[in-house]
Structure 1
């Protein structure tokens, strides 16, 4: 019976192991699904739409092939289309019925610039100037490479393969150099779950049955040998003696005592042990996670959920003529802002080292541009003059993007300098004027010691901009700059002094009444000093905080005039920044003047709060010097 059970165990083991191996070989499903298309149109840009990227579940592996450089980036669909503007492009979509990629040429409609909040995508026609060898140079403005709009970008030569994992509402932009046709061959792949959860149990179970069969065979053989033991009732010979069995011939004795057959039997036993070792090895090899059932709970997706829009109660239908409200999104994401700040930090380091005011305009604008441009001019005449603080790239302790529907876009961030703990964190306001322009630093202020920055919305939500005339604050944001300019000029006698918290406001000591008095005392008796403040030309940036207050960034220009009072002349002191910046090294009967640019960031509380307007950060630098007109 044991032998019968052993045969059944061997047969079942063979079937189970064979079927388990077949699941990982002949019956194994593909590990991915791929859709491809060949774009024959000669457009410079190709857009892979969200429905094409979401044709199947899972991460998207995109393979591009072309005859030259290959470029790929991805970002919000609205940003991708805004960057393309009126240029024609190829849209790659998905046909759900045939499960194939489709392509069509799209020519964008002209944008109505009169619509408020709508980005102007008008671009001058690209002109290609011939190079020295007669070939046309590509237009840098036509290349999407390096744009701050993208979440990430990749480049390659002739071919490019990359894997991304994007949620709904994201499109992929494909190009070459922005002038040549975009790569024509596109393949998008998604992973398939080809796990065989029963392969492992089948192979392990087959191995176990095989071992059981071996045990049954061994026990059966041992039982059979015991049943063939010596017989006790042997026949007796004459006179009652037991009969002795005849002695075998010598050849048989030699054969029984010899080692020949025993060697053959030992070899056979070793061969028989091979399956015993082989089957468990096969079973143990099935240790991959794809071989076994997944008993753990399914992981939650990391893609942001898209809310389902439902009609309000009592409204079953929406009028077709009613336009949909524009989508409000944060200007940037945190990873996007981190990439932008790395670029800005590297750019600033290079430009500061070369004191290149022409390149400076690529990443700076407004008061921040004026301050650095003037510093470059001073350092060219006075090499020992201190440079402005560097722009730190990381870490970003706060990122507050503006909620936007179009352009311009603004984001406030605070970057800390980990290399030097004595340097105060820098609060930066960056602004993007149009889709094809990058973010530029408009304001750069150093936080005051122990600055109490209020809580703000997370970067994934952003903050709404506040109208300069909004009445929900203790002072409208449009009045903060002129009010503080009056406080600097008049001190506590200003009618607006009661609105501002003097604690920790060190700028009043430097540029306020006290600082102005000290400047006048340092002048000779034959000269007088006068001061005036005016609001800078750059726009006020105001973003809401969680407590209904606002973070407000403004600029003020303070003009200091020194004029003679005895009919004589005055001028800049030699070797001073004013003389270096103005280039005026003579004496003047009219007098000379200096302009100091002041950048400030305030916290303005909401109406009903018992707090005052609090200074959070500021910076000042000489931005102008000349003879009095």
Structure 2
């Protein structure tokens, strides 16, 4: 018997070990799934939707090849709506996944008139679509996707050859070259496959254990068999069998009837509980049915709430904003170092550009003129993107400033960035230093974003379109201004620097030096910078404005002259004038405006100001 068990153990062990090894070799699943497509050779842009990338679970690997110039190939991804808005009037090839065939298919998509007008007010110059043949050479060069701020992530050159990504729903990948040459025409998607074989190792180990048991049984059986081969003694005579006792056979009829009666009685006793149990069961079923008919089960009702489509996405993500600020920081450092206004124009606009251009012009003639504060790339202390899917888009950010040359801490820098169209990059409209110990209101998280506030909103203590004029009036008239009670001027550093008291002091100084030969007057006006306003969590708003102040130093007596300051002379090119000199100072201001009915006052969060233009007047 032991030999039989040993043989069975050997067979079972062999089956288990072979099955375990087969799972790791012969029956091992493939390590990955692949799908490929060949793109028409004249295609400039290829779009791969998230549905294609998520056709199989796991991290996607995108491999491209066939680009005319691999050094300029681009792979980027962004929100699907943003990718289509960026493409605008361009013909592209959309890649789809055929689940039945398990492969990729391509389809050429030509923009419709609705697509070309759906870029949210895009100001990009439209590019004519290719001719009916679809040849890229027959059309004008298209836009270059490289370096666009619209992408959540971007890979260029050799980095774009093979990219690994986890694209969630709602995003798309765009593959292109420089917009002039065709895109890579070979697309290969790879998904990992779970090749784990959890039973392989247990089967092999178990087979080895059974093999050891089989060997032990074989050795035990062999040992027992050898011992059983020794001399045997003959057994003695057998013992006689004992006689069998007679069986008792009842003959009385009464006992038989009694026995039958007892059996009948037992059966009856068994049947009664069975019948009773059946009756109870039937009555229980009936009772339950009755209860089921009379007792109603409460049905949950769906509550109405905002659908996912009603929630607008933030203009940028935090990693996207970090990449944008790095690009801006590099441009700002290069432009400020060389005083290159042309380079500054690639990332600055509006009041921020105006102040930098003036600074460059002054530094060209005045060597000791300080450079404007640099734009650091990080760390970002606060970011507030606009929640929108149209253009223009606004993003506000606060960046920590490094210590100055003397090791003294500097106030954080607040930036207001604007993207006018899908193909435009974010431009710095405002760059200001925050006030010391400023109290920033509660803002929405960067993952949600904030809504833009209408310029004429009546839900604020002061409508955004009145903030600039109101504060300018305070700078001109001080406490006599009708708006003075609406602003918190306790810690306002700008009022103390250029407010009414300072203006009167300047006028008195000139009067003492030159008498009535000249006059100094001040006036305010609105600058060309856009009005930006973003909602806060308490229904208030952060408002950015660009007022300007005009200083007119004019000759009052014949023969007298007006002497310009060093900075004004450097910018205007006029050191002294027989008529007068007009100097314009630009202000970049950020305010917190509380909601209507609040006990709080409007307060200045930060500012930047400087001479932006100067000229001789006749």
Q: Which runs of 5+ in 1 are unaligned?
A: 128-135, 234-309, 314-323
Matching residue of 2:591: 602
Q: CA RMSD in A?
A: 3.1
How far 1:514 sits from its partner (Å)?
A: 2.3
1:337 aligns with 2:325: no
Output the CA distance in 2 between the equivalents of 1:205 and 1:333: 53
1:395 aligns with 2:364: no
Output the CA distance in 2 between the equivalents of 1:144 and 1:556: 36
Output the CA distance in 2 between the equivalents of 1:470 and 1:573: 43
The change in CA–CA distance for 1:116 and 1:499 in structure 2 (over 3 A counts) is farther
How far 1:45 sits from its partner (Å)?
A: 0.9
How far 1:378 sits from its partner (Å)?
A: 1.0
The change in CA–CA distance for 1:219 and 1:117 in structure 2 (over 3 A counts) is same
Matching residue of 1:25: 25
Output the CA distance in 1 between the equivalents of 2:309 and 2:21: 57
Output the CA distance in 2 between the equivalents of 1:383 and 1:145: 38
2:96 to 93, 98, 107: 93
How far 1:521 sits from its partner (Å)?
A: 3.6
- TM-score normalised to structure 2 length: 0.79
1:621 aligns with 2:605: no
Query: Structure 1 residues 538-547 or 212-221, which shifts more?
Result: 212-221
Matches within 5 A, 1:54-453: 54-66=54-66, 67-69=68-70, 70-111=73-114, 117-123=120-126, 142-156=143-157, 160-213=161-214, 328-418=312-402, 422-453=409-440
The change in CA–CA distance for 1:228 and 1:571 in structure 2 (over 3 A counts) is farther
The change in CA–CA distance for 1:566 and 1:220 in structure 2 (over 3 A counts) is farther
How far 1:5 sits from its partner (Å)?
A: 4.6
- TM-score normalised to structure 1 length: 0.78
How far 1:411 sits from its partner (Å)?
A: 0.6
Larger Rg computed on CA atoms: 2
Larger % of helix: which? 2
2:342 is paired with a residue whose SS is helix
How far 1:626 sits from its partner (Å)?
A: 1.4
The change in CA–CA distance for 1:220 and 1:27 in structure 2 (over 3 A counts) is same
The change in CA–CA distance for 1:502 and 1:90 in structure 2 (over 3 A counts) is same
1:546 aligns with 2:537: yes
The change in CA–CA distance for 1:227 and 1:379 in structure 2 (over 3 A counts) is farther
Q: How many residues end up aligned between the 2 structures? A: 530
Deviations 1:243-275 (A, max 9, x none): xxxxxxxxxxxxxxxxxxxxxxxxxxxxxxxxx
Output the CA distance in 1 between the equivalents of 2:93 and 2:311: 24
Deviations 1:349-403 (A, max 9, x none): 1111111101211100000000111111111112221100000111111111112
Tell me, yes or no, if the aligned pair for 1:40 and 1:184 is still in contact at 8 Å.
Answer: yes
Q: Which runs of 5+ in 2 are unaligned?
A: 131-136, 234-300
The change in CA–CA distance for 1:485 and 1:14 in structure 2 (over 3 A counts) is same
The change in CA–CA distance for 1:76 and 1:113 in structure 2 (over 3 A counts) is closer
Tell me, yes or no, if the aligned pair for 2:453 and 2:535 is still in contact at 8 Å.
Answer: yes
Tell me, yes or no, if the aligned pair for 1:398 and 1:414 is still in contact at 8 Å.
Answer: yes
Matches within 5 A, 1:456-605: 456-523=443-510, 524-526=513-515, 527-573=518-564, 576-585=566-575, 587-605=576-594
Tell me, yes or no, if the aligned pair for 1:485 and 1:535 is still in contact at 8 Å.
Answer: no
Tell me, yes or no, if the aligned pair for 1:41 and 1:90 is still in contact at 8 Å.
Answer: no
2:589 is paired with a residue whose SS is strand
Deviations 1:161-200 (A, max 9, x none): 1111111111111112211111111111222222212122
Output the CA distance in 1 between the equivalents of 2:325 and 2:205: 55
2:439 is paired with a residue whose SS is coil
